[in-house]
Amino acid sequence: MSDPRSEQLHRRAEAVLPGGVNSPVRAFRAVGGHPVFIESARGARLVGADGREYIDFVGSWGPAILGHAEPTVVAAVQQAATRGLSFGAPTEGEVLLAEKLIELFPSIEMVRCVSSGTEATMSALRAARGATGRPLIVKFDGGYHGHSDCLLVQAGSGAATFGTPDSAGVPEEIVRSSRSLPYNDVPALEDLFAREGAHIAAVIVEPVAGNMGCVPPEPGFLEGIVRLCDAAGAVAIFDEVMTGCRLARGGAQERYGVTPHLTCLGKIVGGGMPLAAYGGRRDIMERVAPLGPVYQAGTLSGNPLAVAAALATLEQLRPELYERLETLGARLEAGLREALAGARVDGCVQRVGSMITLFFRPGPVRNWADAAGSDRERFARWHAGLLERGVYWPPSQFEAAFLSAALGEEDIDRTIAAAADALRSS
Ligand SMILES: *Cc1c(COP(=O)(O)O)cnc(C)c1O
């Protein structure tokens, strides 16, 4: 696609930023070509550096559930900015936000705000290890929980049980205390608990996986995690950084009716600003400093601008919003299925609420091994076809697309038409 201005900016960026970006997936390496530099965004539309408009299905990788530049959120941030940008002292807004999160997520009795999802998961694990006095962390292949050392095992590749680091710079010794198992595999988890249960501090899971494409939990999977943790005295952590406030107001735990011990939040709860949180059972959260011995701190934690955006966003998450997202999601899902059939392409569409993935392989995709079998080259061609037709889809087969409430039915229909066209010509 020709977007000379973005291409030019990306070349300049590559000289001064690794890959020309501040977060790797933005570089479009999985699909090739240059990323679109964004000039502005409003509602469901992004405007690229050359002035072209795109229908957005990335939503800043999750936060933008209301659409971009939602007027009341923007006004709240502007208001807050006039009162000062950061104090490093407590504010009323933080209390309101904590109370709101506890209202939305009944499993959360106490909560701590941080500035990114990575910090939330890293800190939740430290709290779990501190509370149990045990070393081992269990995650699932293809599950991404941020970039902290002990979670960079099988965060989107391979399928071994024993931890090998997914990144250079992560010492073997650190991932030796991590285990990674296939998603949706309760017997594998039972096995692991039978062998090492006395040493397991926590099991962390994306309750609907979104970082290997959208992969829903099978009946009994989430329940099995909580049951096994309960029995062994380990901590069940739902990483709802992506799913929290997206799949329901109270996240996947509300949607599936399963109660974890700790929850990690981010993305939507920050309303587009750098804010995330972890919280849960009081006896565990009381281990966190200054109440307890588990140290965790942040200069900009609970930043007043971020808190203002968070409160203004959470305020607008009414049940009708989720009904609307469900309707729009179902329309897109059906349209994409039809487009696949029409183009005679082997693929499947997986969706939970407003998270959706078209995998270029026959379904169902139950875990990372399945997802990894997708035809990524075909995905890359389809992605380029969508971009040419004004649809901004996540630039990787392994990232879920997100719908926002700012989308209209005509946007969905235009997207389906573009998707069908791109399938036929790629
Ligand atoms: C995005 C994400 C994270 C990391 O959040 P950052 O704010 O990017 O650090 C952690 N867990 C899940 C499930 C995520 O989707």
Is residue 234 within 8 Å of 308, Cβ to Cβ?
A: no
Q: How far is the CA of 346 from the centre of ligand 1 (A)?
A: 30
* The predicted structure's pLDDT at residue 328: 98
- Angle (CA) 358 362 366, round 5°: 80
Q: How far is the CA of 266 from the centre of ligand 1 (A)?
A: 7
CA atoms of 105 and 91, how far apart (whole Å)? 22
Of ligand 1's listed atoms, the one at least distance from the Cα of 211 is 15
Question: pLDDT tens-digit profile of 353-380?
Answer: 999 999 999 999 999 999 999 999 999 9
Tokens representing 157 are 């590749």
Is any ligand 1 atom within 6 A of the Cβ of residue 239?
Answer: yes
Is any ligand 1 atom within 6 A of the Cβ of residue 121?
Answer: yes
Is any ligand 1 atom within 6 A of the Cβ of residue 242?
Answer: yes
* The predicted structure's pLDDT at residue 163: 54
Q: How far is the CA of 240 from the centre of ligand 1 (A)?
A: 9
Is residue 245 within 8 Å of 76, Cβ to Cβ?
A: no
CA atoms of 178 and 56, how far apart (whole Å)? 36
Q: Is the peptide bond before 187 cis (omega within 30 degrees of 0)?
A: no
* The predicted structure's pLDDT at residue 275: 98
Is residue 228 within 8 Å of 189, Cβ to Cβ?
A: yes
* The predicted structure's pLDDT at residue 159: 33
Domains and CATH numbers, the chain: 4-69+318-425 (3.90.1150.10), 71-314 (3.40.640.10)
Number of neighbouring beta carbons within 10 Å of residue 71: 10
Q: Ligand 1 pocket test: which of 148, 208, 267, 300 has the largest number of ligand atoms within 8 Å of its C-beta? A: 267
Pick the residue whose CA is nearest to atom 5 on ligand 1: 117
Compute CA distances 394 → 8, 62, 325, whole Å: 22, 11, 18
Tokens representing 380 are 């890359």
Tokens representing 95 are 């209390």
Q: How far is the CA of 227 from the centre of ligand 1 (A)?
A: 25
- Catalytic positions: 144, 239, 267
Task: Reduce the DSSP state of residue 70 to 3 states and report it.
Answer: coil
pTM of the model: 0.97
Q: Ligand 1 pocket test: which of 241, 247, 301 has the largest number of ligand atoms within 8 Å of its C-beta? A: 241
Q: Tokens 């099995």 belong to which residue?
A: 224
**Burial of 365 by CB count in 10 Å (0-12 exposed, 13-18 middle, 19+ buried)?**
buried
Task: Reduce the DSSP state of residue 152 to 3 states and report it.
Answer: coil
Is any ligand 1 atom within 6 A of the Cβ of residue 63?
Answer: no
Q: Tokens 């099978």 belong to which residue?
A: 218
Find, among 25, 21, 419, the residue nearest to 210 by Cα.
25
* The predicted structure's pLDDT at residue 158: 35
* The predicted structure's pLDDT at residue 161: 43
Question: pLDDT tens-digit profile of 348-358?
Answer: 999 999 999 99
Residues of the chain with pLDDT under 70: 1-2, 155-164
Backbone φ, ψ for residue 8 (5° rounding):
-65, -45
* The predicted structure's pLDDT at residue 268: 98
CA atoms of 232 and 226, how far apart (whole Å)? 10
Q: How far is the CA of 194 from the centre of ligand 1 (A)?
A: 30
